[in-house]
Chains A and B, each alone.
Chain A
Amino acid sequence: MAAIFTGAPPNSGPGYSFTQTPAPTSASEPRQHAFYPYTDNGGSTLGISSSTFTILAGDTRSTSGYNINTRYAPKLFHIDSADPSSRLVLSVVGFAADGEALAERLDTVVKMYRYQHGKTISVGAAAQRLSHVLYGKRFFPYYVHAILGGLDEEGKGALYSYDPVGSYEREQCRAAGAAASLIMPFLDNQVNYKNQYMAGSGVGHELQQRDPRPLERKEVEELVRDAFTSAVERHIEVGDGLQMMVITKEGVEEVYRELKKD
């Protein structure tokens, strides 16, 4: 996707997720200083859905290269919080300005739906609408990895994850952002019991996978906290604070916990 822009940065810069501007490859070349409309603000998000709730979480650090912009910049947005029956939360990670713009777009869209139809939008409808919003900017994308959480019509936890141009899928769990590659395998193992087998079920092809079960809220909160405390240790762009939003039929509850600030 980065190839859309001819000024796309090379991969040889420092270890950011993607660099600010194309750097000269040798000292003899004149320095090119073109405007590049994206940056990476680091951080990570994750979402886990269960039988009666969905939890979204994100760290609150915002970075520019090796600098910390601030220790508190939320990545989670309660959509249409003015509506008491709203159970939608959007998390965005990547380019923060696009993320905020996307959250505001979705907020408006969801409000308009409520005003025009006289009812709260379903999470499935909101999910598809979000896909369209992202795809609408297919050729100048919102440079974000979005995760939308809510409760479906049956009251079950619903979680949708997106790529920057609107491809989406309903999942049990998803990690996104800088530490996605660190957190996702952990979630695969702990939420969907990947690579966990029934003891004594045999060897080789005989092995039977342990059946996943809906997790309890307490378990999930612990998983989220463990995922982030571990990610903080291994990724410099993750840290400072952990913002969690727990979506249940009672409402959307926000929880904040400190993370290491190093």
Chain B
Amino acid sequence: MNHLPQAWGRPRDDIYGAYNHAHLAPSHPTTHTQSPIVTGTSVIALKFRGGVVIAADNLASYGSLALHRREAAEKFNDKAVLGFGGDVSDMQYLDRYLNALAIRENYSSGSGAGEKASSTSTDASEEERAESLDNEGAGTGMAANNLHKYLQKLLYRRRSDFNPLWNHILIAGLSSPPPNAPDASPQPFLKSVDLLGTAFGAPSLATGFGAHLAQPILRRVVPDEEAVKKIDEATAVEAIRECMKVLWYRDARSLDRYSLAVVTKEGVRLSEDERVEGQSWEFAEGIRGYGTQVV
């Protein structure tokens, strides 16, 4: 033993050579997501009198490779549905995160919860019942506008940390009444938030390719908030289906299977196995090359 305590118990340099510390400190700075990996394409949504309809296709792409089917829309509670575009792993992270949030929200919504659940029908299918173990009736205190604000702050924080969640999310549902009119009936709510935390709302919204292809069609249906009050659920759903067809025709990263959800005061109807119906590829007949070619 020598008089250098820091050397006690360590391999002796004269026998084993000096210890190489190089691998202890990382030689490069901490890195975060620089690009999305497995992605989902457009999400589109439309407000109508008394509710919102939202849709997104079920494809997860790996670059130009159609990788697998994905969950595209998620029910948060009876008042809010989320539609995800962008990175699928970040979407699944948010899914777990919001699930934990919904559970925490539900701890405190004690009284009166009993009446609500027992009044709902019990003859649901096996899957529906499995689903009900998840989010249904959870966090009934949190309406779509509350959820949107929460996500906006979350995504803005993550971009400020240079560690973004690579998603563009649409939040559709019903808003909670404003504090100065607590008895007002819930209004249709539709807003989006992206990976930078930018948030905005409109009568119709579309992310990704849908912003180019679907949004112009949707804006003809509901140019402004006044128009929202004039169209009914059936018209809105039909417009969304038409847009999903256009996206299937022209977006190379799309699929003809999609999820569609309608939120009204009756609750959320989410179907994850919709198909693009009535396809006609006749328009493709005359197209040669890039479309300008004639022979």
Contacts and interface: CB of A to CB of B under 8 A. Distances in A.
Direct contact of A and B (CB under 8 A): yes
Contact of A39 (B35, B198, B199, B201): B198
Contacts, number: 55
A38 B196 contact: yes
B198 A96 contact: yes
Contact of B200 (A33, A37, A69): A69
Report which residue of A62, A72, A97 has the largest number of chain B beta carbons within 10 angstroms of its beta carbon.
A97
A144 to B, nearest CB: 12
B211 A35 contact: no
Interface in A21-78: 33-35, 37-39, 41, 62, 64, 67, 69-73
B159 interface: yes
Contacts of B215: 67
Contacts of B162: 35, 37
A140 interface: yes
Contacts of B40: none
A80 to B, nearest CB: 15
A169 to B, nearest CB: 28
A219 B215 CA distance: 39
A97 B197 contact: yes
A96 B160 contact: no
Nearest to B195: A35
A73 B198 CA distance: 11
A101 interface: yes
Nearest to B224: A71
B212 interface: yes
B154 interface: no
B202 A97 contact: no
B156 interface: yes
Given A35-B33, A37-B162, A71 B198 contact: no
A97 B160 CA distance: 11
A71 B32 CA distance: 34
B198 A140 contact: no
A37 B211 CA distance: 21
A100 interface: yes
A67 B224 CA distance: 17
B164 interface: yes
Interface in B190-234: 192, 196-202, 205, 211-212, 215, 224
Contacts of B198: 39, 41, 69, 95-97
A154 B160 CA distance: 40
B34 interface: yes
Contacts of B34: 33-35
Nearest to B179: A82
Secondary structure type dominating chain A contacts: loop
Given A33-B35, A34-B34, A39 B196 contact: yes
A103 to B, nearest CB: 13
Given A33-B34, A34-B34, A70 B159 contact: no
Interface residues of B, number: 23
Given A35-B33, A67-B211, A140 B160 contact: yes
A108 B196 CA distance: 22
Given A35-B162, A67-B212, A72-B202, A97 B35 contact: no
B202 A71 contact: yes
B196 A97 contact: yes
A126 B159 CA distance: 28
Given A35-B32, A35-B33, A70 B197 contact: no
A20 B285 CA distance: 37
Given A67-B212, A69-B200, A101 B156 contact: yes
A9 to B, nearest CB: 14
A37 B159 contact: yes
Contacts of A100: 199
Contacts of B201: 70, 72-73
Nearest to A38: B196
Contacts of B212: 67
B202 A70 contact: yes
Nearest to A100: B199
Nearest to B225: A72
Report which residue of A33, A34, A72 has the largest number of chain B beta carbons within 10 angstroms of its beta carbon.
A72
A98 to B, nearest CB: 8
Contacts of A101: 156, 197
Interface string A118-139: 0000000000000000000000
Contacts of A39: 196, 198
A34 B32 CA distance: 10
A39 B194 CA distance: 11
Interface of A: 33-35, 37-39, 41, 62, 64, 67, 69-73, 95-97, 100-101, 140
Q: Which 6 A-B pairs have the closest CB atoms?
A: A70-B202, A97-B197, A33-B35, A70-B200, A97-B198, A73-B200
24 contacts: A33-B35, A34-B35, A35-B32, A35-B33, A35-B34, A38-B196, A39-B198, A41-B198, A67-B211, A69-B192, A69-B198, A69-B200, A70-B200, A70-B201, A71-B224, A73-B200, A73-B201, A95-B198, A96-B198, A96-B199, A97-B152, A97-B198, A101-B156, A101-B197
